Amino acid sequence: MRRNNVILIIFLVLVAIILYQHYKEPEPRELPQELQQEMEEEAVAKSESAVQPSYKQEDLQVLEVTRRTAITRAVEKVEPTVVSVNVIKTRYVRRRLSFFFGFYDEIPQNIKSIGSGVIFSKEGYILTNAHVVEGATKIKVILEDNRQFEAELIGTDSIYDIAVLKIEGKDLPVAKLGNSDDLIIGEWVIAVGNPYGFLIKDSKPSVSVGVISAVNRDFAQDRNGKIYRKMIQTDAAINPGNSGGPLVNIYGEVIGLNAFILSESGGNIGLGFAIPINRVKKRSRELIKYGEIRQIWLDFGVQDLNPALAEYYGLSTDEGIIVTSIDKNTPAAKAGLQKGDIIVAINEYKVTDVESAQLAVADITVGESIVLQIIRDGINKEIIIEAVEYK
């Protein structure tokens, strides 16, 4: 019996030794000499900085002034006014009901998307792109301070890709809208927005800096019917989610609304484009007051000027459009436009064909003047038509 007890005690001791060896903390390895020396130097540097500052007070003040540039001051002004625009859109997807008989039905599917916007009035009006909110069934706006609001869609200008939203809130930050007719090629600009908002769980906008690369860039009407005309080109990075965010000058003024990039890969390569803010202001006034862009009434037909017609009229070029029909008692007829007149410019915008004429007219709103440069019987004339609403 005693022998068995001794064996049991020995066994338990061995088990305890094995468990101790298994679970005891490993001996720390000795650091390489280079790392050990670096740690010692860091410790000395910390102790010295605790006793004596690295910079003199005057140096720190100079560095602080150097850090705070015109760009950082502009960002401070505009950053609180930039919002994240979260959208839910509904699309209908076909579903097969019967494999053998080929019956289908359509089921609704919610799609989430995101863009940016900028608050431009104390009443809570927000500018963004039309393509951000078109087809939306629900729009939620998130401010930089994490306040969230359900937004009302006031109206969209699908042609020029502009939309106005409205939220109800107090003490809203407001951005100052600048002048896009007074831009300098090469001046600094800042693109602000919320790129990849679903991945970055943070309501604060991102900032990228570049210059104005060009102005007055024109593009053909795209497959969705949108017209991008006299666009501002910049190399400031515009990424997915930046659409609708502001392009800002160094005074913190909004000079454009970021719209799209040109890229084969889909990523930024320094070819970003913004809608000039002067156009946005004009179109947004229509949207706020009327809920839509009112259609102007012209009522005259045109066609491209071809070489045969140019030769018949004794013209040296076949650029322009010819008036083929005009209704009586219309604004154009009352202004003096006649069948056979050749239109070569509209509001100083050169007209080469019907498409360019449509682009020129699309920028005109009710109440403005339409100035036509025409050729009649070989004589250059100017005709002014008052743009009235089509009813």
pLDDT of residue 75: 95
Shared domain check, 384 and 280: no
The model's pLDDT over 151-170, given as tens digits with 9 standing for 90+, comes to 999 999 988 999 999 999 99
**Is 102 inside a domain boundary?**
yes
Question: Is residue 54 over pLDDT 70?
Answer: no
Residues whose CB falls within 8 Å of the CB of residue 354, separated by 6 or more in sequence, listed in order: 302, 303, 304, 321
Same domain, 274 and 208: yes
What percent of the chain has pLDDT above 90?
Answer: 45
Q: How many CB atoms lie within 10 A of CB 127?
A: 29
**84, 113, 116, 131: which is the annotated catalytic residue?**
131
Does the residue 47 lie in any domain?
no
Residue 199 has pLDDT above 60, yes or no: no
Residues 184 and 286 in one domain: yes
Is 390's pLDDT higher than 90?
A: no
Angle made by CA atoms 361, 366, 369, in degrees to the nearest 5:
65
pLDDT digits (tens, 9 = 90+) for 244-261: 999 999 999 999 999 988
Q: Is the pLDDT of residue 348 over 90?
A: no
* Span 204-211, average pLDDT: 91
Which range, of 9-23, 151-165, 323-337, averages the lowest pLDDT? 9-23
**pLDDT greater than 60 at residue 32:** yes
The residue from 108, 135, 166 where one domain ends is 166
- What are the tokens at 322? 């010819």
Active site residue 22: no
Asked, for residue 69, whether it belongs to a domain, the answer is no
pLDDT score of 259: 92
For range 15-23, the mean pLDDT:
65
Residues 200 and 280 in one domain: yes
pLDDT at residue 100 is higher than 60: no
In a domain, 41, yes or no: no
Q: CB–CB of 78/248 below 8 Å?
A: yes
**Average pLDDT rounded to a whole number, residues 183-190:** 96
Q: What is the pLDDT of residue 219?
A: 83
Residue 17 lies in a domain: no
Residue 30 lies in a domain: no
> Can you give the pLDDT at residue 195?
74
Query: Does one domain contain both 125 and 181?
Result: no
Which residues are CB-neighbours of 63 under 8 A, at least 6 positions away?
55
pLDDT the model gives residue 94: 66
Whether 142 and 181 share a structural domain:
no
Overall size of the chain counted in residues: 391
Check: pTM over 0.85? Answer yes or no.
Answer: no
CA atoms of 324 and 303, how far apart (whole Å) = 7
Q: Can you give the C-alpha Rg of the chain in angstroms?
A: 33
Q: Which CATH number belongs to the domain containing residue 354 in this structure?
A: 2.30.42.10
What is the chain's mean pLDDT, rounded? 84
Quick: pLDDT tens for 126-151: 999 999 999 888 999 999 998 999 99
From 166, 196, 224, the end of a domain falls on 166
Q: Provide the pLDDT for residue 56.
A: 66
Q: How is residue 263 written in tokens?
A: 């890229």
Mean pLDDT of the 12-29 span: 64
More confident residue, 126 or 391: 126
- A 10 A CB-CB count for 187 gives 11
Average pLDDT over residues 107-111: 70
Instruction: Round to whole Å and give the CA distance between 207 and 94.
Output: 41
Query: CA 191, CA 233: separation in Å to the nearest integer?
Result: 12
Identify the active-site residue in 161, 235, 341, 363.
161
Per-residue pLDDT at 103? 57
202 and 228 belong to one structural domain: yes
pLDDT in the model for residue 381? 94
In this structure, the answer to whether residues 101 and 201 fall within a common structural domain is no
Q: With 70 as the cut, is the pLDDT of residue 357 above it?
A: yes
Residues facing 296 on adjacent strands: 389
Q: Quote the distance between the C-alpha of residue 365 and its chain's center.
A: 23
CA pair distance 268, 260, nearest whole angstrom: 10
Same domain, 151 and 196: no
CA 113, CA 141: separation in Å to the nearest integer?
A: 12
On whether both 257 and 315 belong to a single domain, the answer is no
Is position 35 within any domain? no
Residue 227 lies inside a defined structural domain of this protein: yes
**What amino acid occupies position 47?**
S
Which of 54-63, 148-157, 360-369 bottoms out in mean pLDDT, i.e. has the lowest?
Answer: 54-63
Torsion sign over Cα 48, 51, 53, 56: negative
Closest CA to 132 of 91, 161, 92: 161
pLDDT (0 to 100) of residue 198: 54
Which one is catalytic: 208, 243, 284, 356? 243
- Report how far residue 188's alpha carbon sits from residue 209's, in angstroms, rounded to the nearest whole number: 7
Overall number of domains in the chain:
3
> Domain of 206?
176-290
Could you report the per-residue pLDDT of 264-322, keeping only the tens digit for each? 666 667 789 999 999 999 999 999 999 998 888 888 889 998 888 888 888 888 889 99
Regarding whether 92 and 146 lie in a shared domain, the answer is yes
Give the rounded percent of residues in the chain with a pLDDT score beyond 70: 78
Q: DSSP 3-state assignment of 77?
A: helix
Which one-letter DSSP state was computed for residue 227? -
Question: Which domain CATH number covers 235?
Answer: 2.40.10.10
Residue where a domain terminates, one of 221, 255, 290:
290
